[in-house]
Amino acid sequence: MASLTRSTRVLVGMAQQPLRGALINNQIRFASTAVATKKGASVTSTKSNKEDDSILLEHKGDFTTGVSRLREHYRNTVQDDLMVLTYAHSFKPKATIPEGVRVELKGNKHIKPAPKAPSSRRIPELVKIDVHCMMKEALVSKYNLLSGFMAIQSITGEMPEIINSKKGVHPWKLRAGNPIGCKVTLKGDKMYQFLDKLVEVVLPRMKEWPGLPESAGDATGNIGMGFPPSALSLFPEIENNFDMFPRMTGFDVTFTTTANTNLDARLLLSGFNMPFQHKDRSAPKAKAIAAPSIESASA
């Protein structure tokens, strides 16, 4: 413990804080395993619940403390506009894949069941946002992961879940089961808050970032984007305490939507002011970009 820097020691303390309870002393004693694994967290809370009722436990439920700005915007404006923009007046379902069956495609990607006819009940919607970071430095010492852990916790307001490696890779000195990254899944109001912050504060300050490419999307209506370590310091929560994070880490953000196509997903995100790259439209290419749902309907 003495060899750790001050901020790392504080970080270890911070990671333990939500694990208040009867076992907290054990946690500190076994400081070498202090990285809060998911398993450890659940054990701690259930045990402490039995042992001492007076200890305040983590409440996992979401509290609705106000009206979410982007949710209202979605309800008032985006939903209506998406309906107009993506509606196909004549819809011919393609050869259908039965519901629930997943067919494997090239490139290790799966496709969803064939989309249903557009309707007012099936307007694309944002389901969740995953924020994930992987730190190579955690191979050397798992304490290095704490910096990323705290950073993700700070920017999302949720406690991350530690990701352990599934397989060992000898050349990288990675052993199976080592903590290697962490992730947070945001839903509901917190999701909209994070998106709001991203779009209003972080993305406009990313220098020379041209916006999401026109081809963004995984073909099933989800969009992912990666951020460099420098982007982390643009979050207001980190900006003010930049010195406290020993290492900055890059991270990935994945937007999961109910849209069936990339196009619909991009439309949805652009409704939340997510910047997309502009290409010069004056010289149209020989091959036009596919506009799947609508073009197939009009053809």
Partner 1 sequence: MSSVLRTQVLRTAVRSLATATRTQIQATPARLTVAARSYTSAAPASAPLKSNISTTSSAVVSSTKDLIINSQRIVAGAVVSRQPLILRDLTPFEKEYFVYQKNLERDHAAAFGAEFYFKKGSVAERRWKQQEAEKQAAASGASTTAGAKGSKSSSSKGAASEVPDEVTEEDRVAALEAKIQFNDRITDADRKNDVRSLERALARTLYLIVKKPRDQHAWQFPQGGVRVCENLQEATGRELSEECGSNMDLWFVGRVPIGHYQYNFPKEFVASSSTPTVKGAKVFFMKAHIFAGQVQVDNKEIVDFAWVTKQEMKDYVTPEYYEAVQDMLSDF
> Which of 3/282 has CB closer to partner 1?
282
> Which of 17/96 has CB closer to partner 1?
17
DSSP state of 173: T
The region of 72-80, 127-135, 175-183, 246-254 touching partner 1 under the rule CB under 8 A is 72-80
Q: How far apart are the first and last CA of the chain?
A: 68
Q: How far apart are CA 154 and CA 207, in angstroms?
A: 22
Site membership for partner 1, residue 268 (CB under 8 A): no
Q: H helices within 107-206, ranges in order? A: 144-156, 188-197
Please give the radius of gyration of the chain, using alpha carbons only, rounded to the nearest integer. Answer: 22
Site membership for partner 1, residue 287 (CB under 8 A): no
CB of 110: closest distance to partner 1 in angstroms? 25
Residues numbered 133-162 forming contacts with partner 1, rule: CB under 8 A: 150, 159
Q: How far apart are CA 273 and CA 73, in angstroms?
A: 11
Site membership for partner 1, residue 86 (CB under 8 A): yes
Site membership for partner 1, residue 80 (CB under 8 A): yes
CB of 174: closest distance to partner 1 in angstroms? 29
Q: Residue 252 is inside which H or E element, if any?
A: strand 251-257
- Give backbone dihedrals phi and psi of 171, rounded to 5 degrees, phi first: -60, -30
Q: How far apart are CA 168 and CA 170, in angstroms?
A: 6
CB of 99: closest distance to partner 1 in angstroms? 26
**What count of other Cβ atoms lies within 10 Å of the Cβ of residue 162?**
21
> Which of 35/159 has CB closer to partner 1?
159
Site membership for partner 1, residue 289 (CB under 8 A): yes
Site membership for partner 1, residue 4 (CB under 8 A): no
Q: How far apart are CA 267 and CA 221, in angstroms?
A: 10
Residues 150/15, Cβ–Cβ less than 8 Å = yes
Residues numbered 9-68 forming contacts with partner 1, rule: CB under 8 A: 10-11, 13-14, 17-18, 20, 56, 58-59, 63-67
Site membership for partner 1, residue 106 (CB under 8 A): no
The region of 39-47, 92-100, 137-145, 287-295 touching partner 1 under the rule CB under 8 A is 287-295
Measured CA distances, 209 to 146, 192, 265 (Å): 28, 22, 20
In the complex, the residues that contact partner 1 under the rule CB under 8 A are: 10-11, 13-14, 17-18, 20, 56, 58-59, 63-67, 69, 72-73, 75-77, 80-81, 84-87, 89, 150, 159, 199-200, 214, 240-241, 244, 263, 266-267, 270-276, 278-279, 281, 288-289, 291, 294-295, 297-298
